[in-house]
């Protein structure tokens, strides 16, 4: 049986300050939990309505009602795990790096993390005002990719000032992405959902690129996760040919 103190701890992890205080985050559902565990993330505690499955030191069999009290989902899955937040990895200075400038929507961030995993981007650099990658909604949206992409929160202005790599930024008035080639080592900056790349960061962009519009000219812009998918696909096409 799960205790009130356990439920209190888990529900507190919905807030960033408690995730940072305890060094813990929550993943829900067999697939997400299995993917995170396979990448050697340490399980703090595991709760399931089913017997067997994931083996953890602190494992608890619970009822669906108990699980719902802990769950951040509208309808709880069959299992929930509390993981230890891993130590951040050092920043790499080679390869393709994605930089996020104030991405606020957890769903967008989760999708971008999955895209980085899919396209072999090992490193994701986030501004300090980007949504926390251990937000429960982000964790669920990544479907396990969270553990395979090194995510670092830094002052991106200082980071970009110090790099010697070319810095590409997504803009409405940039160069057609389909008409250029990209190097193996580069940085791609994606901006805020509503305002795009901030003025301060724009000054540090060495090349502006855009996804040309072929359809209805009244469509204002693409969703940032969708735009990231298209740009990463095109960059990889260029570097892998």
pLDDT at 218: 65
pLDDT at 40: 87
For 121-177, what is each residue's pLDDT tens digit?
999 999 999 999 999 999 999 988 999 999 999 999 999 999 999 999 999 999 999
For 199-234, what is each residue's pLDDT tens digit?
999 999 999 999 998 876 666 778 999 999 999 999
pLDDT at 241: 60
Contact 177, 168 (CB under 8 A): no
For 105-117, what is each residue's pLDDT tens digit?
999 999 999 999 9
pLDDT at 88: 86
Between CA 37 and CA 23, with CA 225 as vertex, the angle to 5 degrees is 35
pLDDT at 50: 84
Confidence tier at 100 by pLDDT (50, 70, 90): very high
pLDDT at 142: 94
- Mean pLDDT taken over the chain: 93
pLDDT at 1: 72
Distance CA 42, CA 1 (A): 22
pLDDT at 221: 77
Helices (H), the chain: 4-12, 16-22, 30-38, 64-70, 106-118, 136-142, 156-162, 199-202, 224-240
For 134, residues 6+ apart whose C-beta sits below 8 A from its C-beta are 16, 19, 25, 85, 146
Q: Which residue has 């230890």 as its token pair?
A: 84
pLDDT at 2: 84
């Amino acid at each position: 049986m799960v205790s009130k103190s356990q439920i209190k701890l888990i529900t507190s992890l919905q807030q960033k300050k408690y995730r940072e205080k305890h060094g813990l985050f929550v993943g829900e559902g067999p697939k997400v939990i299995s993917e995170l565990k396979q990448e050697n993330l340490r399980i703090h505690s595991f709760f399931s309505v089913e017997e067997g499955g994931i083996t953890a030191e602190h494992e608890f069999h619970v009822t669906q009602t108990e699980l719902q009290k802990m769950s951040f989902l509208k309808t709880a899955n069959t299992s929930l795990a509390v993981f230890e937040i891993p130590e951040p990895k050092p920043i790499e200075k080679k390869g393709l790096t994605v930089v996020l400038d104030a991405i606020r929507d957890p769903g967008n961030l989760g999708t971008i993390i999955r895209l980085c995993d899919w396209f072999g981007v090992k490193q994701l650099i986030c501004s300090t005002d980007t949504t926390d990658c251990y937000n429960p909604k982000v964790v669920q949206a990544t479907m396990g990719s969270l553990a395979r992409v090194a995510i670092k929160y830094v002052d991106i202005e200082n980071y970009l000032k110090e790099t010697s790599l070319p810095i590409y930024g997504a803009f409405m008035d940039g160069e057609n992405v389909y008409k250029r080639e990209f190097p193996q080592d580069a940085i791609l900056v994606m901006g805020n959902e509503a305002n795009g790349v901030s003025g301060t960061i724009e000054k540090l962009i060495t090349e502006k690129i855009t996804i040309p519009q072929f359809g209805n000219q009244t469509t204002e812009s693409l969703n940032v996760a969708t735009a990231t998918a298209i740009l990463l696909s095109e960059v990889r096409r260029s570097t892998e040919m």
